[in-house]
Amino acid sequence: MKLKTGNYLFGIIVSFVLAGLVAALGVYAVSSGSLGWGAAALLSYGLLFGGPLAVVLLLTWIVYMVRDRGSMPGRAHALLLLPTLLAAMIVPISESVQQSRRDRFREAHPAISETHVNLSGGMIGFDTRGGYRSSDAASYLEPGSAENRRFARFSRYQHVIPQGGGKFPYAGARLKDDVRLYEYPGQDGAPGASLPLRRLPQPEVGKLAAAHAYGEASLLVFQYFHYADHVDVAPSIARFAASTEDAMTRARIPGLAIFGLENYTPQTIFRVEINGQTLDLGEYAARSLALQPCDPSVGGSPVLADLEQPVRVRWQALEDPQAWHEATVAVPAFSQASKADPDTGLARVRLYLLPDGEVAAERYKEIRSRDGKLAIRATGLPARARPYAGCGSGAYAKYNPQTVTLLPN
- One domain for residues 194 and 320: no
Q: Check if the beta carbon of residue 268 is closer than 8 Å to that of residue 286.
A: yes
pLDDT, tens only, 27-43: 777 776 665 555 566 66
d(CA 332, CA 382): 9
pLDDT at 235: 96
pLDDT at 210: 87
- One domain for residues 96 and 121: no
- One domain for residues 309 and 380: yes
- One domain for residues 154 and 200: yes
pLDDT at 223: 97
3-state SS assignment for residue 315: strand
- One domain for residues 74 and 142: no
Query: Pick from 176, 205, 238: which residue ends a domain?
Result: 238
- One domain for residues 172 and 99: no
pLDDT at 41: 62
pLDDT, tens only, 126-175: 988 888 887 767 788 999 998 999 999 999 988 876 555 468 899 888 99
- One domain for residues 249 and 396: yes
Q: Which domain holds residue 91?
A: 5-106
d(CA 229, CA 130): 25
- One domain for residues 320 and 364: yes
pLDDT at 359: 96
- One domain for residues 137 and 89: no
275, exposed or middle or buried, with CB in 10 Å at 0-12, 13-18, 19+? middle
d(CA 208, CA 75): 59
pLDDT at 331: 95
* Domain total in the chain: 3
Q: Which of the residues in the chain have pLDDT under 50?
A: 1, 165
pTM: 0.78
- One domain for residues 281 and 341: yes
- One domain for residues 138 and 221: yes
What is the Cβ-side half-sphere exposure of residue 40, based on CA atoms within 13 angstroms?
2
166: left (phi over 0), alpha (psi -120 to 50) or beta: left
- One domain for residues 51 and 180: no
Query: Pick from 86, 106, 126: which residue ends a domain?
Result: 106
Residue 271: Cβ within 10 Å count: 22
CA 64 to chain centre: 59
d(CA 351, CA 340): 26
Q: How far apart are the first and last CA of the chain?
A: 91
Query: Pick from 106, 131, 158: which residue ends a domain?
Result: 106
3-state SS assignment for residue 31: helix
pLDDT at 258: 95
